[in-house]
């Protein structure tokens, strides 16, 4: 048992990819292939509360930006064709409190989050979006846990030492909230609204 035994833990995983080569010498290339100190000085979250209770909008701010690498513990894992960034929200009491507040009304919150390598000099421009995601009224009660102990060979390689993995239902909707008439599912966002 770790120091936080008995506490409920949550993880969010966002996966972004590109079909375009990263331009040599660009800020994004220096971020992907750079040292952790450089990454920490540039890894930025920009978010917008699209929908949510007043208390969440007031605490988090309707629009905000934060250098995650400066505010939270970030661990970077560079592989041959990927960069994994693990952000530990529990490394900040303030961030932990904000997440706890948001989780209390997560079924009523829609938030857009963009991850950027921040430009700090003119030669760094233009900034490139690493990826973006919309979290829309997540239903944490629907989370299902999967045993990830080494005895379970299907998940052991994914999470050594984590104990268990889980999934929660997220209600997907485009910016206009349109639904497919036949299925009732969220309609795909028009091309102008999709993140690239």
pLDDT digits (tens), the chain, 196 positions: 334 444 566 677 888 998 888 899 999 999 999 999 999 999 999 988 888 888 777 777 777 888 999 999 999 999 988 999 999 988 888 887 777 776 777 777 888 999 999 999 999 988 888 999 998 887 777 766 656 666 554 443 443 333 444 444 445 444 444 444 444 444 444 333 333 2
For residues 56 and 115, state if they share a domain: yes
Q: CB 60: neighbour CB atoms within 10 A? A: 19
Rounded Cα gap, residues 10 and 89, in angstroms? 10
- Nearest alpha-carbon partner for 40 in 22, 67, 64: 67
For residues 92 and 180, state if they share a domain: no
Q: What is the pLDDT of residue 182?
A: 44
In contact, 121 and 114? CB cutoff 8 Å: no
> Does a structural domain hold residue 12?
no
Q: What is the pLDDT of residue 149?
A: 63
> Does a structural domain hold residue 195?
no
For residues 115 and 78, state if they share a domain: yes
For residues 92 and 106, state if they share a domain: yes
What residues have CB less than 8 Å from 184, skipping those under 6 apart? none
> Does a structural domain hold residue 69?
yes
Q: What is the pLDDT of residue 1?
A: 31
Domain count, the chain: 2
Q: What is the pLDDT of residue 59?
A: 75
Structural domain containing residue 50: 23-136
pTM: 0.67
182 backbone dihedrals φ, ψ, rounded to 5°: -75, -45
For residues 89 and 150, state if they share a domain: no
For residues 74 and 123, state if they share a domain: yes
For residues 130 and 173, state if they share a domain: no
């Amino acid at each position: 048992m770790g120091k936080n035994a008995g506490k409920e833990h949550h993880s969010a995983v966002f996966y972004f990819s590109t079909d375009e080569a990263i331009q040599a010498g660009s800020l994004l290339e220096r971020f992907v292939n750079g040292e952790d100190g450089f990454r920490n000085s540039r890894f930025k979250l920009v978010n917008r509360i699209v929908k949510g209770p007043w208390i969440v909008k007031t605490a988090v701010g309707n629009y905000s930006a934060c250098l995650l690498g400066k505010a939270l513990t970030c661990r970077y894992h560079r592989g041959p064709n990927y960069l994994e960034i693990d952000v530990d929200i529990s490394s900040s009491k303030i961030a932990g409190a904000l997440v706890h507040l948001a989780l209390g009304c997560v079924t009523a919150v829609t938030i857009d989050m963009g991850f950027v390598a921040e430009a700090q000099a003119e030669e760094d421009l233009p900034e490139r979006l690493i990826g973006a995601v919309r979290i829309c009224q997540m239903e944490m009660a629907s989370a299902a846990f999967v045993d990830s102990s080494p005895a379970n060979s299907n998940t052991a390689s994914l999470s050594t030492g984590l104990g268990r993995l889980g999934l929660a239902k997220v209600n997907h909707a485009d910016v206009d909230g349109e639904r497919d008439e036949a299925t009732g599912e969220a309609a795909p966002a028009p091309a102008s609204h999709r993140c690239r």
